[in-house]
Each structure stands twice: as C-alpha cells, then as structure tokens.
Chain A
C-alpha cells in the first residue's frame, strides 16, 4: 500500500502532471484541492501522508494554507510547488512550516528527491 498524497494546485494541468509523477513512484493520490480553503478542509478530512502545495492560489494562498494545516497538525508533511522568482514566498512558506519545495517546471527526479526528504 503506497503513501497517500493530497495535491493542491489551481491548475488542473499541474495537478495531473504532478499526480502522474507521484503515482508512477507508487503514491496513492487520495485527493485534490483547487485553492487554499479547500486544501485545509481536505487535509483535515483525509490526513494524507504528503501534501503538495502551490503557492499562488485563489481564495486562500498556499502559505496561509500551510499555516492553517500545520496549526492543526504540526507533523504535516507539506511540499511547496514554486515557480522561479518566488523565492521569498518559498522562504516564507518554509518558515510557516512547509518541509521542502520543488520548482516548476517539474523534473520527476527532483520531485521524488524532495518527497523522499520530506517523508524521510
């Protein structure tokens, strides 16, 4: 039985791509979220082993979502998904409790390395 993952991104394309990378590595995608509010709700509901979190999302951004999730579960394992040029936001997310990050465009090997670090 693979580890469970919740994918949070407002772009379906990104969710799909990331989901494929993780599925190929044996993860089970148990849920998806299109914005921060949904991400926090789904996390509480699903308690996944891993969360991937986009930074810029409507309604509630990824950083605020990280803050809320970590408040409820300090051990939450959240991997930030960032674009180049968002370094300051990534730093902020890490300070809020995210465990690691990957940079778009995603390279499967880099994603899996980061996932290993987060879960390790």
Chain B
C-alpha cells in the first residue's frame, strides 16, 4: 500500500495523541486515578496501531513498549512514583522523536512528493465519467488524505472479562446499535478469536449518545462504556454513488498546509496596500472612487474570513506547558500546580506561534524565581504548593494572557539598587513603579550580569519575551506585590496581516516600504546627476528620477546625508527613493489607516516596529505619481 499520502494526516493525528499522552502522564503523576492511566494507555495503543499501519516499525515499537508499561500500571502490577513518570515521559519523548524523524524522513510530510511521483490521471478510472465523479476522484487523490472530519462521538466498550465468545458479543452489540444509530467506524475493524473484548466505535456526528448507550447495555455482558470525542476522517462517497442521496459525504472541514494560509494572508495584506493606493488616486464622485470603496468593503470581508481560518485555540500552545512546568518544578525542588484557564480562546496562528516561547520563559521564571520552595512558603504562612495561573481571556479586540504566580514577588529594592549601580535611573529615585520595573527587567542582560538569586532568572529571556510580544503589536504589563506574587499581562492583537517590507530611515524616523514595490536597493555613491533641473540617478545606463525621502515628506529640519536608494517601481514608472539608512527586511504587521485630514497621501498604513514604536508605511507609487512623471 502506498502510505505516503497519509503521512500528513498520520503526523497531525499522532501529535494529537502524543499531546494526550503527555497530559495523561502528568495526570497519572498528579494522582488522577484510573482515568489518566486509561487515557494514556489508549493513546499509546492507538499510536502503535497507526504507526504499524504506516509501516513505521520503530515508532510502533516505542509505542508498544510504552503501552506495556501502562498496561502494567493499569493492572496494578506496577506502582506509580515520580521516577516511573520520569521514565514514561522520557519514553514518550523518544516516541515523539521516532515519530517525527521516521515520518519526515520517509516521505515529504506534506505528501506532495508522493503525489507528484504518481502518473497524472489522464483518463478517468472505470466507473467514473460524470463531473461529480471527477470531483470525487480529485478529492480522493489530492485532498482526501488531508481531510479532517468534524468531532464525532466515539464509545470505547469493554466487554465483561468473564463473558464467553467476546467477538460474538461485540457483533451483537454492533447489531443492536445499528438499529438506532449509524456506526462510522470500528476499531478493531473485525472481531476474531484474538479479540480481547475492548473495542471502539465512532459514530456520525449528532447521534444520540444516550440512545446508543441504552442499546449497548441492552446487548448484554458490557462491563464499561467510555465516551470520547473522535475526529473522524471522512471518505468521500465512492465514485458512482450520487452525492445527492448522501448529504453526509459533503466535506465540511479541510486540513490545509499552513504555508498556503500564510501566503493568502500575505496577499490580502498587499491587496490592502494597493487598495490604499487606489483610493489615493481616486478623486471624489468618480467611478474609480466607487470601485475603490467597494473594494475596501470586500477586502474587509476577506480579511475577516482569512482571519477566521487562521484562528486557533490557545490550547494548542498551552498544552505543552504542564510538562514544562512540571520539569522545571522538579528540577528546582518546588511544588507547583499549573492552572490553565481560557484554553478555548482563539488567536491568529501567527500570533500564537510568536507567544509560545515568551510564555515559556515567563512560566519558567515564575517557577524558578517567583514561587518559593515548600519550606519557605510554609514559613511565610502560605500553602506549600505554589499556584501558577496561565489564563487567556478575550477583551474587546484583544486577547489578554496572564501569567500569574503566588510567589514572593519581585524585590523592588534589589531592582532599584541594581538600576542605580548601572546608572539607569535618576539617583534621586527611591521608588519604582511596576511599569518602570518592567522596563528595567526587560533591558537585555539587566539581571544576568551578576548572580542575584531572586532576580537572576527574571531577566533571562525577559527582554526577548517582551520584544517578541511587542513585535506582534502586543503589550506587556507587570504587577508584582512583595510576598504575594507577580503577574505579567500580555495584551495581544487578534489579527495579523503580514507583509514583507523594507525598513528605512529618513529624517531620523523609521519608515516601511512594502517589498512588492521594491525592484532593488543601491548605494548612493556619486551616481547622482542633475537633468533639466531635477536630480536623477544613473542606473546601468538608465536615468531614474531621484526623490530624497526626507524632503518629499517635508521632514522638519530636513534629512541627514542619504546613503542608499530604494528603486521602486510600479504603475507609472520608476523612482529612486533616497534614504539615510537601510534598516533591513522584515515581516511587517500592516494596519490600514485613514489618516487625519491633511495627511500626506503617500502613506498606505501603519505598522508596529519590533520595539513597539509605530512606523508609517510608505506607498512608493504616490512618490512616483508626483516625481516620476517628469
């Protein structure tokens, strides 16, 4: 069997099982009783089966070993302690590593390689021929392996160990269910003499769980029924069966390569910039203006739609933190309970990816330096177990993420003393506000120059964390009370429209030029000449009008000496835009804006720089419009 087309689906589903595994292993350690053991066992068991189906023997082997250990815990022959959990976590890490390397090594994870290697179907297979069949085939070849079903109910059924002929009992149960509900899939697929009485049924979405459960119980010899939610892969209706009679075969969810979404979002961002140009070209009450306005509305819709597609629950990032906190707590001899709240809140995937590491730093810092050792907490009259709260909440057009600990708080006196020594505060300062303290802590290396036990880690990564959050247009706020804890509040935008851009300086200010307008960048080295009273740049035999940006923008006090020129083109012609400095190429978060009356018509929007300062996005074609036509 050619399994390459299933690699992506296999990987994404396996990662889900690995997350469940990690979560339930921590649940086992936390003394969660039987449920996390069962959950971990099922995850390992399912992973084993999936890996075996893909022919990944190494992965299946790791999963099998893990399953055996979990089975021993399940049956009570293996007692649980921290060392065992360490060992199981290590095994789950090995499984993860085996999975990633095997799957990505064996085949392109996007599955494109395998597909391209197949001969293109030039004629429809026998039985196909109508348009709908062709569509079915298309789905089958290109998309089906990546299709993801909606969450559907699934039941894990355990037949009483004392029951004879468990396979026959399972068949009776299935028959009984079929009278009241549709079974979408069954695992194992067939019942034979090896069947151990443990099986799992996935149902169509919307089936009545209570009715199904009654049917299962009525079939007899059932020891336990556990309900769970499955993500079912939908197979399209086989060719030849009209979809009209099978409305359920309609594909509702599609799993898409993230890079496609990124490029769509990027294109939308660039369209927004173009639309800004269009509106600046349109004079009032003309057809162009009407088109431009209509385009603006559609673009807003499009931005909303693409944003909706890109929204992902923060759970995706939060889920890895229990393990991180657990390991950090164990390493530092702390007892820490991590509480996650608001895991269902959604964020743009790009934002979510950016905040993962900052949150990791903040959580680690909280464990290492915020929360005290159990004996110290006891002495301070606190419960020996520290609580670390990670909470996401929606607040108007933003998402607020709090990292809050009930530890000792940050010592203002020490921060102040250090700031004084380094000359970072006015010598007269004798009190630090929270925001001043954050500014100091977020200075690169502020706390790492000297080992101060309480502080040494607070600043490690704090500068990185804060600048990453600001880089996506977010803010960070600190509040800390001595003895009772510290809270860092991240306020994040909901949306990102990314555009590749060039950052330049003119008149001492930073500006951003969308790269789609940039042809090339040259040094200004005496190739400037005058022609008919205008400055021009000689560029490989061409003559390009030169615009000094600081002058064009009428920067107060004029500009400094220009060192480089951005050759911008598009629409009516080319121009060399002279700037004082090239800062670099960046992915910019561009927000369109309607400037106040009197704003120069050469700005397409505004963006936030990595350090949190706003910068205007230049629309170079507006410069062309005025200067390029000579």
Kindly report which residue of chain B lies nearest to residue A85, judged by CB atoms.
B193
Task: Assess whether B191 is in contact with A91, with CB atoms less than 8 Å apart.
Answer: yes
Interface size of A by CB at 8 A reads 16
Question: Is A95 an interface residue, CB under 8 A from the partner?
Answer: yes
Task: Assess whether A87 is in contact with B165, with CB atoms less than 8 Å apart.
Answer: yes
Task: Assess whether B164 is in contact with A84, with CB atoms less than 8 Å apart.
Answer: yes
Task: Assess whether B164 is in contact with A100, with CB atoms less than 8 Å apart.
Answer: no
Task: Assess whether B218 is in contact with A90, with CB atoms less than 8 Å apart.
Answer: no
Task: Assess whether A117 is in contact with B218, with CB atoms less than 8 Å apart.
Answer: yes
CB contacts (< 8 Å) of B192 on chain A: these are 87-88
CB contacts (< 8 Å) of A52 on chain B: these are none
In-complex Cβ contact of B165 among A95, A101, A117 (8 A): A101
In-complex Cβ contact of B171 among A82, A84, A94, A120 (8 A): A94
Question: Is A113 an interface residue, CB under 8 A from the partner?
Answer: yes
Task: Assess whether A114 is in contact with B165, with CB atoms less than 8 Å apart.
Answer: no
Kindly report which residue of chain B lies nearest to residue A86, judged by CB atoms.
B165
In the bound complex, how far is the Cα of B221 from the Cα of A101, in angstroms? 12
Kindly report which residue of chain A lies nearest to residue B168, judged by CB atoms.
A90
CB contacts (< 8 Å) of A117 on chain B: these are 218-220
Within 8 A of A (CB), among B385-406: none
Interface string of B175-197 (1 = CB under 8 A from A): 10000000000000001110000
Interface string of A88-115 (1 = CB under 8 A from B): 1011001100011101000000000110
Kindly report which residue of chain B lies nearest to residue A82, judged by CB atoms.
B165
Question: Is B363 an interface residue, CB under 8 A from the partner?
Answer: no
In the bound complex, how far is the Cα of B165 from the Cα of A84, in angstroms? 8
Task: Assess whether B218 is in contact with A120, with CB atoms less than 8 Å apart.
Answer: yes
Task: Assess whether B218 is in contact with A94, with CB atoms less than 8 Å apart.
Answer: no
- In the complex where A101-B165, A103-B165 touch, is A91 in contact with B218 (Cβ < 8 A)? no
Interface string of A15-35 (1 = CB under 8 A from B): 000000000000000000000
**Number of contact residues on B: which range applies?**
10 to 19
CB contacts (< 8 Å) of A120 on chain B: these are 218
Task: Assess whether B193 is in contact with A88, with CB atoms less than 8 Å apart.
Answer: yes
- In the complex where A117-B218, A117-B220, A120-B218 touch, is A99 in contact with B168 (Cβ < 8 A)? no
Kindly report which residue of chain B lies nearest to residue A100, judged by CB atoms.
B172
Kindly report which residue of chain A lies nearest to residue B219, judged by CB atoms.
A117
Task: Assess whether B168 is in contact with A87, with CB atoms less than 8 Å apart.
Answer: yes
Minimum CB–CB distance from A52 to chain B (whole Å) comes to 15
CB contacts (< 8 Å) of B164 on chain A: these are 84, 103
Task: Assess whether A99 is in contact with B172, with CB atoms less than 8 Å apart.
Answer: yes
- In the complex where A99-B172, A100-B172 touch, is A91 in contact with B220 (Cβ < 8 A)? no
In the bound complex, how far is the Cα of B172 from the Cα of A82, in angstroms? 15
In the bound complex, how far is the Cα of B172 from the Cα of A99, in angstroms? 7
In the bound complex, how far is the Cα of B167 from the Cα of A5, in angstroms? 26
Minimum CB–CB distance from A112 to chain B (whole Å) comes to 12
In the bound complex, how far is the Cα of B191 from the Cα of A90, in angstroms? 11
In the bound complex, how far is the Cα of B220 from the Cα of A54, in angstroms? 21
In-complex Cβ contact of A113 among B172, B175, B220 (8 A): B220
Task: Assess whether B220 is in contact with A100, with CB atoms less than 8 Å apart.
Answer: yes
In the bound complex, how far is the Cα of B167 from the Cα of A88, in angstroms? 8
Task: Assess whether A114 is in contact with B167, with CB atoms less than 8 Å apart.
Answer: no
CB contacts (< 8 Å) of B220 on chain A: these are 100, 113-114, 117
CB contacts (< 8 Å) of A95 on chain B: these are 171, 175
Minimum CB–CB distance from A27 to chain B (whole Å) comes to 19
Kindly report which residue of chain B lies nearest to residue A114, judged by CB atoms.
B220
- In the complex where A88-B192, A88-B193, A94-B175 touch, is A101 in contact with B168 (Cβ < 8 A)? yes
CB contacts (< 8 Å) of B168 on chain A: these are 82, 87, 90-91, 94, 101
In the bound complex, how far is the Cα of B164 from the Cα of A88, in angstroms? 13
- In the complex where A101-B165, A103-B165, A120-B218 touch, is A94 in contact with B172 (Cβ < 8 A)? yes
CB contacts (< 8 Å) of A114 on chain B: these are 220
In the bound complex, how far is the Cα of B218 from the Cα of A113, in angstroms? 11
Minimum CB–CB distance from A79 to chain B (whole Å) comes to 11
In the bound complex, how far is the Cα of B165 from the Cα of A103, in angstroms? 8
Task: Assess whether A90 is in contact with B219, with CB atoms less than 8 Å apart.
Answer: no
Minimum CB–CB distance from A99 to chain B (whole Å) comes to 7
Minimum CB–CB distance from B187 to chain A (whole Å) comes to 17
In the bound complex, how far is the Cα of B165 from the Cα of A114, in angstroms? 13
Name the residue among B167, B172, B191, B193 with the largest chain A CB count within 10 angstroms. B172
CB contacts (< 8 Å) of B167 on chain A: these are 87-88, 90-91
Interface string of A60-71 (1 = CB under 8 A from B): 000000000000
In the bound complex, how far is the Cα of B220 from the Cα of A101, in angstroms? 11
CB contacts (< 8 Å) of A100 on chain B: these are 172, 220
CB contacts (< 8 Å) of B218 on chain A: these are 117, 120
In the bound complex, how far is the Cα of B171 from the Cα of A87, in angstroms? 11
Within 8 A of B (CB), among A32-72: none
Interface string of A67-83 (1 = CB under 8 A from B): 00000000000000010
In the bound complex, how far is the Cα of B500 from the Cα of A50, in angstroms? 77
Minimum CB–CB distance from A94 to chain B (whole Å) comes to 4
Kindly report which residue of chain A lies nearest to residue B166, judged by CB atoms.
A87
In the bound complex, how far is the Cα of B167 from the Cα of A114, in angstroms? 16
CB contacts (< 8 Å) of A103 on chain B: these are 164-165
In the bound complex, how far is the Cα of B171 from the Cα of A84, in angstroms? 16
In the bound complex, how far is the Cα of B165 from the Cα of A99, in angstroms? 14
In the bound complex, how far is the Cα of B222 from the Cα of A117, in angstroms? 13
Kindly report which residue of chain B lies nearest to residue A92, judged by CB atoms.
B171
Kindly report which residue of chain A lies nearest to residue B170, judged by CB atoms.
A91
Kindly report which residue of chain B lies nearest to residue A98, judged by CB atoms.
B172
In the bound complex, how far is the Cα of B167 from the Cα of A120, in angstroms? 22
Minimum CB–CB distance from B173 to chain A (whole Å) comes to 10
In the bound complex, how far is the Cα of B167 from the Cα of A83, in angstroms? 14
Kindly report which residue of chain A lies nearest to residue B169, judged by CB atoms.
A101
In the bound complex, how far is the Cα of B165 from the Cα of A82, in angstroms? 10
CB contacts (< 8 Å) of A101 on chain B: these are 165, 168, 172
In the bound complex, how far is the Cα of B163 from the Cα of A117, in angstroms? 14
In the bound complex, how far is the Cα of B175 from the Cα of A82, in angstroms? 19
In the bound complex, how far is the Cα of B569 from the Cα of A105, in angstroms? 91
Task: Assess whether A91 is in contact with B219, with CB atoms less than 8 Å apart.
Answer: no
In the bound complex, how far is the Cα of B191 from the Cα of A116, in angstroms? 25
Residues of A at the B interface (CB closer than 8 Å) are 82, 84, 87-88, 90-91, 94-95, 99-101, 103, 113-114, 117, 120
Nearest 8 Cβ contacts at the A-B interface: A90-B168, A103-B164, A94-B171, A91-B171, A117-B220, A87-B165, A87-B167, A91-B168
Instruction: Knowing that A91-B167, A95-B175, A101-B172 touch, tell me 5 more A-B residue pairs with CB under 8 angstroms.
Output: A84-B164, A94-B172, A100-B172, A100-B220, A103-B164
12 A-B pairs within 8 Å (CB atoms) are namely A82-B168, A88-B192, A90-B165, A90-B168, A90-B171, A91-B168, A91-B191, A94-B171, A99-B172, A101-B172, A113-B220, A117-B219
Residues of B at the A interface (CB closer than 8 Å) are 164-165, 167-168, 171-172, 175, 191-193, 218-220
